[in-house]
Structure 1
Amino acid sequence: MRIAEYRLTRFQFARDRVIGDSQVRIEHAHMAALELISDTGLVGLGFVPSLFNALPSLAEIDRLFRVEIWPGLEGQEPAALVHRIRRPRGGNIRGASLPFAEGIDQALWDLTAKQIDLPLWKLLGGTKKRVKAYASGLDYHLSDDDFCALFEHARAIGYTAFKIKVGHPDIERDLHRLALLTKTVGKAEAIMIDANEGWSPQDAVRRLNIINKAGYDILWVEDPILRYDFEGLKMVRAGCPFTLVNSGEYFGASDKLRLIEARGTDMINVHGHVSEVMRIGWIAAEQGIPVSLGNSFLEIGVNMAIALPEVEWLEYSFQNFDHLVEQPIEIRDGYAYAPERPGHGLVLSETARRDHAIPDVLAAEELPPAPVNTRLPH
């Protein structure tokens, strides 16, 4: 089986709520779907998201893909590419003009698993059928009422673990949000907080101790300080033995390895790049370091979460992307379930391709309204 064609579809729409943290605010969604098509008719799907800015027009995306990426894929066997190790030297250490890498990786793994008629999580070695999911609000910019409504809904549909954004300049605001959360959800199995590098090491220790003394039992604090400050991360670990430090979100594989070697974190955070997640997962398993599966596009990361022995939690953030695929990953009663379908389990929706594709760049005021989020009450 060889790669014979590709297809790109561009999407751009308003989000159903403002998402963000102490550093960023995001109101719109931008992504492209990449489909790699084999000479046998199988289709591998990957996603090319742009978190902050609109992607260029479909014609320009296609031009860049055809010039920069396609020569290395056309006629190749997907299974021969997913484990290929490059020898990066000099000028060949460079990224593509657009963030194609993760989507290519997803599409290649999807095709490889479909070729042997296996769900991706089984191909990756998974044996369990589900992983615990925690409700993550991306809630920093929500009003108190909207914050409570989101987490009340999460609790009502079975979530028992919750992560909120902290890092406000005023510690009282962070304490206020924690009070609202505990009042809304009652006794939680776990509460996590995410500062998105909002603190210095000394400030992180001070603030985390204030939170702890206020009676909040925090399972982990995510990215409390700057990512490269390994000594500062060790200071936070030593000064806050009552919680875990979860870091690595902003790193590629090589820097995640350095973070592990420096003992700068109690947990390593990974996302949606299949090959990279598995490589880091193997290293973490040897070191006995837990892995958390952060947000991945349309929860494609459930495949890796189920396959890796060190993963106990998968993040779910109620983002309204489900309309893009025929059948989203099943999440119920606080668990994400492994799809039994061949490949990673996601197929681009023909309705989305027909009704929601936006080939040309639109200004914010021209965007269509947010698609209905079927995971939230409306």
Structure 2
Amino acid sequence: MRIVDFRIVRFQFARDRAIGDSQVRIAHAHVATLELITDTGLVGLGFVPSLFNALPSLAEIERIFRAEIWPGIEGEEPAALVHKVRRPRGGNIRGASLPFGEGLDQALWDLAAKQLNLPLWKLLGGTKPRVKAYASGLDFHLSDDDFCALFDHAASIGYTAFKIKVGHPDLERDLHRLDLLVKTVGKPQAIMIDANEGWSPQQTVRNMNIINKAGFDILWIEDPCLRYDFEGLKMIRQGCPFTLVNSGEYFDAHGKRRLIEAHGTDMINVHGYVSEVMRIGWLAAEHGIPVSLGNSFLEIGVNMAIALPEVEWLEYSFQNFDHLIETPFEIRDGWIYAHDRIGHGLTLSETARQDWAVPEVMADEDLPAAPVNTRLPH
């Protein structure tokens, strides 16, 4: 089975709410889908998101892909590519002009699993069909009313663990949001908070002790300080024995390995890059460090979360992308369930391909609004 063709579809639309944290605010969605097609007719799907800026026109995306990526995969066997060990040196250590890496990796693994007629999570060694999910609001820029409405809905459909954004210049605002959360959802199984590097190590120790003394039992503090400050992260671990430090989100595999070896975190945060997640998962298992699966596009990371024994939680953030695929992953009573379909389980919706594709770059003010988010009340 060899790769003989590809298709790319470009999407751009206004989000149904502004998402963000103490450092960023995002109101628009920019993503392309990449489909790799084999000589046997199988199709592997991957996602190419751009978090902050619009992708170029479809013609330009295709031109760059054909020039930079296609020569390395045309005529190749997907299973050989996902297991290929590369020797990056000198000028070979560089990224593509567009963020194709994760989507290419997803599409190749999708094809490799389909060739073996297996769901990806089973190919990766998974045996359990589900993993615990926590409700994450990406809520820093929401009003108090919208904050409460989102988490009230999450609790009503079975979530028992919740993560909120902190890192406001005024700690009282963070305490206020924690108080609102508890009043809204009752006594949760777990509360996680995420500062997105908004604090220094000293601030983190001080703030976490204030939060703890205020009666909030926090399972983990995520990315409290600068990612490279391994000594600061160790200081936080020592100064806050009542909570866990969860870090690594902003690192590639090399950075995550350095973080683990420096003992700078209690948990390691991974995302949607199949090969990288499995690589770090194996390393984390050797060190006995739990893994949390952060946001991955359309929850494709459930395949790796199920396969890795160190993963206890997967993040779900009520982002409105379900209209892009045929059947999203089922989330019920605080658990996310993998598909039994072969491959990673996601297929591009033909309706999205016809009705939601935006080949040319559009100004933000002209963007179509996202469809109704069926995962939220409306």
TM-score by length of 2: 1.00
4+ runs deviating over 4 angstroms: none
Q: Which structure 1 segments of 5+ residues have no match?
A: none
Shift of residue 83, structure 1, vs aligned partner: 1.2
Residue 355 of structure 2 aligns with an amino acid whose one-letter code is D
Residue 2 of structure 1 aligns with an amino acid whose one-letter code is R
Residue 226 of structure 2 aligns with an amino acid whose one-letter code is L
Distance 2:255 2:214 in 1: 35
Shift of residue 221, structure 1, vs aligned partner: 0.3
| Residue in 1 that maps onto 2:52 | 52
What secondary structure sits across from 1:88 in the alignment? coil
1:301-316 matches, cutoff 5 A = 301-316=301-316
User: Is residue 15 of structure 1 aligned with residue 15 of structure 2?
Assistant: yes
Residue 178 of structure 2 aligns with an amino acid whose one-letter code is L
| Residue in 2 that maps onto 1:24 | 24
Q: For 1:145-177, what per-residue CA distance to the aligned partner results, in whole angstroms no more than 9, with x for missing partners?
A: 000000000000000000000000000000000
Distance 1:104 1:371 in 2: 27
User: Is residue 122 of structure 1 aligned with residue 118 of structure 2?
Assistant: no
1:242-281 matches, cutoff 5 A = 242-281=242-281
Shift of residue 369, structure 1, vs aligned partner: 1.2
Distance 1:100 1:357 in 2: 18
What is the number of equivalent residue pairs in this alignment?
Answer: 378
RMSD: 0.4
1:216-295 matches, cutoff 5 A = 216-295=216-295
| Residue in 1 that maps onto 2:64 | 64
TM-score by length of 1: 1.00
Distance 2:146 2:64 in 1: 40
Shift of residue 339, structure 1, vs aligned partner: 0.7
Distance 1:268 1:260 in 2: 8
Shift of residue 377, structure 1, vs aligned partner: 1.0
Give the stretch that moved more between structures: 368-377 or 54-63.
368-377
Q: For 1:157-213, what per-residue CA distance to the aligned partner results, in whole angstroms no more than 9, with x for missing partners?
A: 000000000000000000000000000000100000000000001001000000000
Distance 2:358 2:370 in 1: 13
Distance 2:52 2:237 in 1: 31
What secondary structure sits across from 2:249 in the alignment? coil
Distance 1:73 1:282 in 2: 26
Distance 1:213 1:121 in 2: 41
What secondary structure sits across from 1:4 in the alignment? strand
Q: Which structure 2 segments of 5+ residues have no match?
A: none
Distance 1:255 1:156 in 2: 38
Residue 4 of structure 2 aligns with an amino acid whose one-letter code is A
Residue 223 of structure 2 aligns with an amino acid whose one-letter code is D
Residue 117 of structure 1 aligns with an amino acid whose one-letter code is N
Q: For 1:23-59, what per-residue CA distance to the aligned partner results, in whole angstroms no more than 9, with x for missing partners?
A: 0000000000000000000000000000000000000
| Residue in 2 that maps onto 1:335 | 335
Shift of residue 108, structure 1, vs aligned partner: 0.1
Residue 159 of structure 1 aligns with an amino acid whose one-letter code is Y
1:1-378 matches, cutoff 5 A = 1-378=1-378
| Identity over aligned pairs, percent | 83
Residue 97 of structure 2 aligns with an amino acid whose one-letter code is S
